């Protein structure tokens, strides 16, 4: 049974790594651990090489920006659920222009798969206070991290020490900023169009009016209710 296999893996991790890895609570039976960025390479190598783990595949690497985490920019109690009236006044964007970031603002998340053991594991590493944020590259451990780390660099501005070719991969040449950061404007900074008179593509200050739409909020998901989880474990 999956739940027993996950707990067996969790017990092995606790025995092997002790306080180097701390388990993150989950409501959907997924195994996630948080670790210090200085321990990343050592732990990642062990998780790949040691027979008790065998995580030979890195499925994904993604960045996370926790700026303003837990703070709503809209109110869903009184807003309409349809049409343009769903638009609400945008609250002030939280800017972070300090020399150092909050230690738990930026994180890098690694999704691992053990094919031989048919089990998955997630690791989360916070980048600390450094500006720009930086962690070690895992390209030498999982070569597939190459493009994933470039994506996280492009979208979040996270640097990966030791990456062989850390360049932008999604945004345009000369793009300024990192569009997945929470303090990057949703409308962007510039707009691009073709100028027939000049015969080239030109960049101009963005003319879109900032506007926020109230999303459809799912406050609960019955797939993770206690009754259904118990039934699925049977």
Structure tokens that stand for 14 in this block:
């606790």
Q: What is the pLDDT of residues 132-191, one digit of tens each?
A: 999 999 999 999 999 999 999 999 999 999 999 999 999 987 788 899 998 888 777 788
pLDDT for 175-218, tens place per residue? 888 999 988 887 777 888 888 988 998 888 888 776 655 555 55
80 DSSP 8-state letter: -
Calpha distance 202→205 (Å, rounded):
10
Would you state the CATH architecture of domain 2-232? 2-Layer Sandwich (3.30)
Mapped onto helix, strand or coil, the DSSP state of residue 37 is: helix
Question: Distance (Å, rounded) from C-alpha 38 to C-alpha 135?
Answer: 8
Instruction: Give pLDDT tens digits for 35-89.
Output: 999 999 999 999 999 999 999 999 999 999 998 887 766 555 555 555 544 555 5
> Domain ranges in the chain?
2-232
């Amino acid at each position: 049974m999956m739940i027993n296999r996950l707990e067996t893996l969790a017990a092995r991790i606790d025995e092997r790594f002790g306080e180097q890895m701390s388990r993150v609570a989950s409501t959907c039976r997924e195994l996630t651990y948080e670790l210090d960025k200085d321990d990343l390479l050592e732990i990642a190598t062990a998780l790949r090489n040691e027979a008790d783990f065998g995580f030979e595949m890195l499925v994904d690497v993604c960045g996370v920006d926790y700026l303003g985490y837990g703070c709503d920019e809209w109110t869903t109690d009184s807003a309409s659920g349809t049409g343009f009236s769903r638009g609400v006044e945008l609250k002030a964007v939280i800017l972070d222009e300090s020399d150092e970031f909050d230690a738990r603002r930026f994180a890098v998340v690694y999704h691992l798969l053990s094919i031989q053991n048919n089990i998955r594991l997630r690791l989360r590493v916070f980048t600390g206070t450094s500006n720009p944020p930086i962690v070690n590259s895992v390209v030498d451990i999982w070569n597939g991290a190459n493009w994933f780390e470039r994506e996280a660099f492009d979208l979040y501005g996270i640097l990966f020490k030791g990456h062989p070719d850390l360049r932008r991969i999604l945004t345009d040449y000369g793009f300024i900023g990192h569009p997945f950061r929470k303090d990057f404007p949703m409308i962007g900074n510039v707009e691009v169009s073709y100028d027939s008179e000049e015969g080239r593509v030109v960049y101009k200050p963005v003319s879109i009016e900032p506007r926020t739409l109230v999303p459809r909020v799912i406050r609960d998901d019955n797939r993770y209710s206690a009754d259904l989880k118990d039934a699925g474990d049977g």
